[in-house]
Structure 1
Amino acid sequence: MADTTELAWQEPSVLDPAVVRQAWRVAEPLHGLIYFAPEAHERYADLGLDPRSGYFASRSAAMGPVGAGPVVAAFYNFNPALVTRALPAAWDRTAPAAVLAARTEAAGAALSRALGDLVDTAEMREAADLARRAAESAAAYPEGRPLFAAHVALPWPDDRPHVVLWHAQTILREFRGDGHVAALLMAGLTGLEALVLHAASGEVPRRFLQRSRGWSDEQWAEATGRLRGRGLLEGDEPVLSDSGRAQRAWIEAATDRLATPAYTVLGTDGCRRFTELTRPMSRAVVASGALNVDNGSSRS
């Protein structure tokens, strides 16, 4: 597969995509805890939503009371039958505005619990300012990014820095995620096939990916067979072939490149400072157990 991240007709990146990738990866737990936090599940339950419905409703609520179709398209790798069981039925019990408010409240409470004294620091305020600058600058690039565009149009939450940081990181996460979907489409992968390759890389257990996205053993096996036929998998317990590793590397490089415009406003020094500031915060989130999958039915 041609490395289209280096073709002459593409404008070169202002920033090293590796610097951008690190800035996103280090701060990701500050957003990701919302999918696991009991505070979120409790607030969704108050609205009449179980954890699975709460996930689909809360992440899609920025798009309004949509049905399963747009969510299947935007989220990409979930079994459509799983989404259909949650939406649009969730909107018979509550409204998008209520779900968005519950999600933001839950994020603030979960981060306060996980971060403790780190919530009220100069470092938190600086990190929130950097993340907000990046998120707001990304609004100039909505094309082809429906989930991002919906989130970046939301009003900013109150001025508590840790909530602002969470909201900004959510926007940046969806910006990157929409770009990742574009890369998967260019690679010719269905959502399920992308999951199978991810599992074969050894980075995330198959059991978690398959169960959380709602695919049966039969469906997983069929996708595995298709990928074997294309030379992307090998071995009895499938692992990536050389071609599979090359494709995964291309997808990740393309995703990094597509995420870069959001961080241009920060520059290399700003990205590195953001990484420096958020690293101890993310470590505190991990150490608190806030990312434990047993906290609830996470579906990130």
Structure 2
Amino acid sequence: MTSATEPAAIDHALVRHTWRVAEPLHGMIYFVPEGPERYAALGIGAREGYFASRAAALGAVGAGPVVATFFNFNPRLVAAALPAAWAKATPEAMLAARLDAAGAALTRGLGDAVHGPEVAEAAELARRAAESVADRPEGRPLFAAHAALPWPDQPHQVLWQAQTLLREFRGDGHVAALLLAGLTGLEALVLHAASGDVPERFLRRSRGWSQEQWDGAVDELRHRGLIEAGEPVLSEAGRAQRAEIEAATDRLAAPAYAILGVEGCNRLAELARPLSRAIVAAGLLNVDNAIRKEG
């Protein structure tokens, strides 16, 4: 009998694959216009709306808990949004606006498929995974806050909310892995950019760091031997550290997927793949949109 503290008996590469294939179904909420449009109706700007909508599950918090849990944003950027946003809209209103925006964006991106049996089945599987760890909130504040929210009725919104929970469950574990690696939020961003996965310009500007602050972190990581070259790229030590962090993140995320087993994880990935591809093809995950919104 497996104890609650033991790793889930499921391949961690499968855990990462299942999450990654379905992630666009959640991640699109940060790039689509439906979100800012609904936040604007509440008197909340786009940047302010990001923090208020994602943090709303925590309640009317100030900047401190958001800096801690979101991890890699400039504290001054967060403080410019919170707690001021709560004078314009309640957390409940922001949560409703975000869910409505997610539903509308998925409907736009998926078309007729949004009402199909594949979405309903994927929603059932993802919700089962998310709910299976609802009684394991320790050390996972963002997941715990979102796990306490009521479930919507429509399958496509259930799918979005379930993937949101799985994303925050994984994200809380990822923050723990970064802390154990001795990285600050800014340093984690620099290493992410140095991996070549996401453009430096997007990471730096969307998280509110100045070029001077970014360059200071680059110098520090170069001094520690984690990046190299004039155009920063990961060194051998940096690649090894990143691999360790990702492996730890997968291990910490595994309990959420254990209940599905290999067959369930493969089925969720099979269902999510064409849905996520449709989201990308419809332009709902274009990082250039976010860069333009940030000015």
Q: TM-score, normalised by structure 1?
A: 0.94
Does the Cα contact within 8 Å between 2:189 and 2:203 map onto a contact in 1? yes
In structure 1, distance between residues paired with 2:281 and 2:10: 31
1:187 corresponds, among 149, 167, 181, to 181
Corresponding residue for residue 257 of structure 1: 251
The count of residues paired between Structure 1 and Structure 2 equals 289
Whether the 8 Å contact between 1:139 and 1:152 is mirrored in structure 2 is: yes
Structure 2 match to 1:67: 62
- Asked if structure 1 preserves the Cα contact closer than 8 Å seen for 2:7 and 2:251, the reply is no
Deviation at 1:89, TM superposition (A): 0.4
Listed as ranges, the gaps of 5+ residues in structure 2 are none
Q: Is the 2:133–2:255 contact (alpha carbons within 8 Å) kept by the matching residues of 1? A: yes
Quote the Cα distance in structure 1 between the aligned partners of 2:123 and 2:116: 11
Q: Structure 1's 71 and 233: CA in aligned 2 closer, same or farther, altered over 3 A?
A: same
CA distance in structure 1 between the aligned counterparts of 2:225 and 2:69, rounded to whole angstroms = 28
Letter in 1 for 2:266: R
CA distance in 1, matches of 2:284, 2:21: 15
Q: Say which of 18, 25, 36 aligns to 1:41.
A: 36
Equivalence for 2:205: 211
- What residue is the counterpart of 1:54 in the other structure? 49
Identify if the C-alpha distance between structure 1 residues 109 and 12 changes in structure 2 by more than 3 Å, giving closer, same or farther.
Answer: closer
Name the SS for the 2:138 alignment partner: coil
Quote the Cα distance in structure 1 between the aligned partners of 2:187 and 2:111.
40
Pairs within 5 Å for 1:67-216 = 67-158=62-153, 160-216=154-210
Unaligned 5+ residue runs, structure 1? 1-9
Paired position in structure 2 for 1:231 = 225
Asked if the contact 2:7/2:255 (under 8 Å) is kept, the reply is: no
Q: CA deviation at 1:293?
A: 3.0
The Cα offsets for residues 264-284 of structure 1, whole Å up to 9 and x where unpaired, read as 110011000000001000000
Deviation readout 1:105-128 (Å, 9 max, x if unpaired): 010000000001111111111101
Alignment-mate amino acid for residue 250 of structure 1: E
Deviation at 1:295, TM superposition (A): 3.7
% identical aligned pairs = 71
Q: TM-score when scaled to structure 2?
A: 0.96
Give the whole-Å Cα distance in 1 for the aligned partners of 2:61 and 2:201.
Answer: 29
Structure 2: how far apart are the matches of 1:12 and 1:135? 17
CA contact (8 A) 2:130 2:166 kept: yes
Residue 28 in 1 paired to residue 19 in 2?
Answer: no
State the 1:131 CA deviation. 0.5
SS of aligned partner of 2:77: helix
Instruction: Measure, in 2, the Cα distance between the counterparts of 1:296 and 1:110.
Output: 15
Q: CA deviation at 1:294?
A: 4.1
Superposed, which structure 2 residues align to 1:279-294 within 5 Å? 279-294=273-288
Q: Is the 8 A contact 2:102 2:157 kept in 1?
A: yes
Matched AA of 2:251: R
Q: Give yes or no for contact 1:146–1:178 (8 Å, CA) kept in 2.
A: yes
Q: Do 2:38 and 2:97's aligned partners in 1 also have CA atoms closer than 8 Å? A: yes
Provide the secondary structure at the position in 1 that maps to 2:80: helix
1:75-130: CA deviations, max 9, x gaps?
00000000000000000111000000000001000000000111111111110100
Match of 1:86, SS state, is: coil
Cα drift, residue 140 of structure 1:
2.1
